[in-house]
Chains A and B, each alone.
Chain A
C-alpha cells in the first residue's frame, strides 16, 4: 500500500545543510497498522508528510497504492489525497470559521460526494458528537475537537489514514478514548493506518512499529 525507497530529506539552514531523513526504506501493506516511534525531532512528522505527499523529498521514492508520488505534480498529489488519504493531527487543525458539521463535510465535498451533509452528520454521531453539529471548534473541548477531526478523517472513507501524535495535546484519559475510537473505526473500514506517536502504549496496539533515530530507521519489529 505504501512503499518508500531510500527516502532522503535535506533542508537549508543557517549553518549549511541539515539532513532530516537519511534514506528511509519502508513498506506498509494494505490494512496494516504501523506505529512510527522516536524521540522528538527524530524526523517522524517529516517522514509522515513525505509519505502523504504534503512535501517533496530531496531524493528517493514514495509509492501510494502503486502510484509513484515523484511522478505527480502538486495538484495531482492533492487529488490523490482527496481520494485516498485521511489525516488526524496533533493540533487538530479544524477550520475555526466552520462548524463541526462543516469541518467533517469538507473532505466529502472535495471528493465530490453529493450527500456530504448527511454522511458527515452520520460520522459525527459515530464519534458521539451528534448533538454538537452546529458548534464551532472554539466551543468544543480538545477531546471533542479531536473527535471531530477523526470524523473528518474517516468521512471520505480513505484507504490510508495518517495520524501525527493524535493524543499529544490531550490528557491520558481523553487520549485513551480517542485512540479507542480511532482503532474502532479503522477496523470497521479496514483502513491502512500510519500512526506517529511516542507513547509505547499506543504503539503496542499497532500491528508493527518502526523506530526513527536522528532521521534513520533503527529497528523494526513485528
Chain B
C-alpha cells in the first residue's frame, strides 16, 4: 500500500475533506494576502517616487554642473532637468500676471505623469512628457486671469510662446506650491531665448535621476561630497500622508486578518488530522497484525502528509495568486499606481506555512498511529491509543505564536490576539466544565426532547468542553475581524467624507476677507473659516543662531513657514504637551506641531526667535500639537495668540469643497479676485477616496476567505462528534425513539453549545478588539452593544445549523446499522 494509493482511497471516502481544505485555505490566505500587500507596497514605493517625478533629485539655487548628469548617465540612470522661477507673463499689451514658470527637459517626468486638458478646467488627460519647444501649457486659472483661450500667444521675457493646453497637475508639484503664482510649463531648451534667468535670480534648478537601486546608490555616493551650499539631495517625499496612512492601516488589517486566518486554518487542520487518525485505527491495527512495523506505519502516514502538503501548497498558491490578481485586474485601473510584481516570496511563505501546520498540528495524532496495538483486531473495544498529550498542545501553541509573529511582524498585534484566544479558551473551558459537567443527571432522559438534549450535553461533557472552546475561539476571531473592519472603514469615511475640502485659497489680503467669504457663501460651497497667515522664518532657538546645513531634513527650518494666530485650539488638533493659552492672551507664546518641534529639538518652555518681514519676534513655546494629516484640512505648524501677530503683514487662506460639475465657478472667482491663488486638490482627494474604496473591497474579499476558514473550523469541530452521535441515534431509534425526538435534541444540544460559544466569543472579542485598537492599530475603541446580541445569535444559528446539517445522516438513514458491525 503506497501513501498515494491510501490518500486517493481516503479522498474518495471523503475522509480527507476538512484536512485538505484547511491546508489549502491556510496556503491561500498566506500567499494571497502577502502577495497582495507586497505588490501594493512595491507599487506605493514607486508611487512615492512619482511625487518627486524621479527616484532622487538634486536641488540647487544655481545651475548644476553638466558633469553630474553625465556621470549619472554613465551609471545607466535616466536623467532630466527642470528649472523653476517666478516671472511676469504677458498676453497682448495690457494683461500680465506674476507666474511660476517651470522649464522641463524632454524626458521629464522620469516617474509619474503630467495631467493636462485641452481646455481650462476640462477633463484632464495623462501625458508622459512636457510641452514641445515653442509652446507652453498654462494653469487653468491663468486663462481667466489673462483673458485668453487655447492657441493665444504668451510672452515670457523676450520670447513668445503659443499656449497649447491647460496644465492640471505635475507629479512633483507637491513640494513647493505655496507662495507661487499660477503655473506656466515650458520646454527646457527655450530658456536662453527668454533671457529672464540671470545670475542671482531666485530660481531652483533640479537634476532628476531614476533607475535601478544599485546605480542610484553609486551615483548618490559620488554626488554627496560634491554638493555645495544651496544644493540638496531629495529623497522620497512623504507628502502623500493621506494615501500613506490609509494604506498602512489597510495593510495592518490584512496582516491581522491573515494571522487570524492562519490560526483558524491551523485549528481546522488539527481537528481534521485527529479525525483522520481516528478513522485509521482499525486499518493500522490490521496492517500491524499482518506484520507492518511501527516505523513502516510512520513512514506511510508521514509521506501521505507530505503529498497532501505539496498538493495543498500547489492549489493554495494558485488560489492565492488568482485572488490577488483578480483584485488587481478588477481595481488596478482605478488605483493611481501600477501594481508591481510580488516575486516568489509570498508563495514560499505559503509553502512554509503548510509545512509548519502539517508538522505541528497534523503530524502528532498521526505519529501515534504507529503505537496502536494490533490486539485491536481481536478486541475492537480496546482504547485506540494514548490521549493527546500536553506536549501536543505546547507544540501547537508554539507554532501558532511563531506563525503569527512571523507573518504579522507585529508583537502587539500578536499579543492582543493571543490574549483574546487565551481568555476565550480559559473562560470557555471553565464555564463549560461548570455548566456541562456539574451534577451529572442520571440516565438518557429519553422521555423528553429537552431532558434528552441536556443529559446529552452533560454526558459528552469533556468532548463538548473542547468543542465550546474551539467554537468560541473561531467565532471570536471572526467577530474581531468584522469589528475591526467596520471601525476601519467607518474611520476612513469620516476622515474623507463627501464634501471634504478639495480646493485651497491662499494669498487673500485682509481687505478681501469679507468679499471672498461673501463670494463663497453666494455659491453656497462648504468652506472652512478663513485663517490668517504671516510669513516668517525661525532664526534662533534659545538664543542660539541656526547655522546653514546641508542636511535636507534640517533645511526645512531655514525656509519660510506660515504662521497663524488663533484664540482656540484648531479643529482636529490634539495638545500632546504644555497647555493652550487663554483667549485674549497677549503673552509672547507659540504652539508648535509635533514633527517640526521634534526636528528642531524644541520643548515646551524653549524660546524661539523669528524674523517676520524685517522685524524680530521672540516667543516661548506654550504647547506642542499633533495634527491629523489625513484630514485634508488646512494645517499650521506654528500658531500664535492673535495679539502677538497683530501688526505684522498677513494674508488669509481657506479651503472649500467644489464638485466637478461646478468647476466653472473658479473662472468667475478668479476674475473677481485675480490676486488670490487657487490650489486644486480635487484630483488628489479623488485618488485617496478611490484608493480607500478599493482597499475596502480588498478587505471584504479577504474577510470572505477568512470566514471560510472559520466555517471550516466549525465544521471540523462538529464532525468530531458525528460518529459517536450516529451510533447513539441508531440505537435510540432501534429502541423506538421517534425522529423528531432525536432531531429536536440535536437542535437543542448544538443550539446550547452555540449560545455558549457565541456569548463567550463576544466577551473575548470585545477584549481583544479593545487591546488591538488601543495598542496595535492606534485607533479609538468603542464598545459595540450590537455585538452582545449578534454574537450569541451567530453562535446559535451557525453551530446549530452546521451541527444539525452534519448530523442529518443520523436521522435520514434507516436504523438498520445496529444490526451490522459498525
A residues at B contact (CB < 8 Å) = 45, 48-49, 52, 54-56, 74-75, 78-83, 85, 87, 89-91, 93, 95-98, 101-102, 105-107, 109-112, 116-117, 137-138, 152, 164
Contact pick for B734, options A81, A83, A102, A111, CB 8 Å: A81
B residues at A contact (CB < 8 Å) = 381, 383, 442-447, 459-460, 724, 727-728, 731-740, 814-816, 818-822
Complex CA distance for A83 and B727, rounded to whole angstroms: 22
B731, A109: Cβ atoms closer than 8 Å:
no
A79, B738: Cβ atoms closer than 8 Å:
yes
A105, B444: Cβ atoms closer than 8 Å:
yes
**In the complex, which residue of chain A has the Cβ closest to the Cβ of B819?**
A45
B820, A45: Cβ atoms closer than 8 Å:
yes
B819, A164: Cβ atoms closer than 8 Å:
yes
- Residues of chain B contacted by A98 (CB below 8 angstroms): 443-444, 459
Complex CA distance for A91 and B446, rounded to whole angstroms: 22
Distance in angstroms from A143 CB to nearest chain B CB is: 13
- Residues of chain B contacted by A95 (CB below 8 angstroms): 444, 727-728, 731
A89, B738: Cβ atoms closer than 8 Å:
no
- Residues of chain A contacted by B442 (CB below 8 angstroms): 101-102, 105, 117
A54, B443: Cβ atoms closer than 8 Å:
no
Contact pick for A82, options B383, B460, B737, CB 8 Å: B737
Complex CA distance for A72 and B460, rounded to whole angstroms: 33
B816, A85: Cβ atoms closer than 8 Å:
no
**In the complex, which residue of chain B has the Cβ closest to the Cβ of A153?**
B735
- Main SS of chain B's interface residues? loop
Further pairs besides A78-B736, A110-B446: 8, Cβ < 8 Å: A82-B736, A87-B818, A89-B818, A98-B443, A101-B443, A107-B735, A107-B736, A110-B732
25 chain-A/chain-B pairs, Cβ below 8 angstroms: A48-B819, A54-B818, A55-B816, A74-B739, A75-B740, A78-B736, A78-B737, A79-B736, A80-B736, A81-B734, A81-B735, A95-B444, A95-B727, A95-B731, A97-B728, A102-B442, A105-B444, A106-B444, A106-B446, A106-B735, A107-B735, A109-B447, A110-B732, A111-B736, A117-B442
Distance in angstroms from A200 CB to nearest chain B CB is: 22
- Residues of chain A contacted by B733 (CB below 8 angstroms): 78
Complex CA distance for A102 and B819, rounded to whole angstroms: 21
Complex CA distance for A109 and B455, rounded to whole angstroms: 13
Distance in angstroms from B385 CB to nearest chain A CB is: 15
Complex CA distance for A90 and B816, rounded to whole angstroms: 13
Contact pick for B444, options A45, A82, A102, CB 8 Å: A102
- Residues of chain A contacted by B728 (CB below 8 angstroms): 95, 97
Q: Report how many A-B pairs have Cβ atoms within 8 Å.
A: 95
Complex CA distance for A47 and B488, rounded to whole angstroms: 66
A116, B735: Cβ atoms closer than 8 Å:
no
Complex CA distance for A95 and B822, rounded to whole angstroms: 13
- Residues of chain B contacted by A78 (CB below 8 angstroms): 733, 736-739
Contact pick for A109, options B443, B738, B819, CB 8 Å: B443
B735, A82: Cβ atoms closer than 8 Å:
yes
- Residues of chain A contacted by B739 (CB below 8 angstroms): 74-75, 78
- Residues of chain B contacted by A81 (CB below 8 angstroms): 734-736
Distance in angstroms from B811 CB to nearest chain A CB is: 9
A49, B816: Cβ atoms closer than 8 Å:
yes
- Residues of chain B contacted by A110 (CB below 8 angstroms): 446-447, 732, 735-737
**In the complex, which residue of chain A has the Cβ closest to the Cβ of B820?**
A45
A54, B737: Cβ atoms closer than 8 Å:
no
B819, A54: Cβ atoms closer than 8 Å:
yes
Contact pick for B445, options A83, A107, A109, CB 8 Å: A109
**In the complex, which residue of chain A has the Cβ closest to the Cβ of B461?**
A97
Complex CA distance for A109 and B444, rounded to whole angstroms: 8
Complex CA distance for A125 and B459, rounded to whole angstroms: 24
Q: When A and B form their complex, which 5 residue pairs have the shortest distance between CB atoms, in order from nearest?
A: A82-B736, A81-B736, A109-B446, A75-B738, A55-B816
Complex CA distance for A89 and B730, rounded to whole angstroms: 13
Distance in angstroms from B421 CB to nearest chain A CB is: 29
**In the complex, which residue of chain B has the Cβ closest to the Cβ of A87?**
B734
**In the complex, which residue of chain A has the Cβ closest to the Cβ of B444?**
A106
Complex CA distance for A106 and B734, rounded to whole angstroms: 11
Complex CA distance for A52 and B816, rounded to whole angstroms: 10
- A93-B731, A112-B447 known; A54+B736 contact, CB < 8 A: no
- Residues of chain B contacted by A117 (CB below 8 angstroms): 442-443
Distance in angstroms from B559 CB to nearest chain A CB is: 80
Complex CA distance for A74 and B739, rounded to whole angstroms: 8
- Residues of chain A contacted by B815 (CB below 8 angstroms): 54
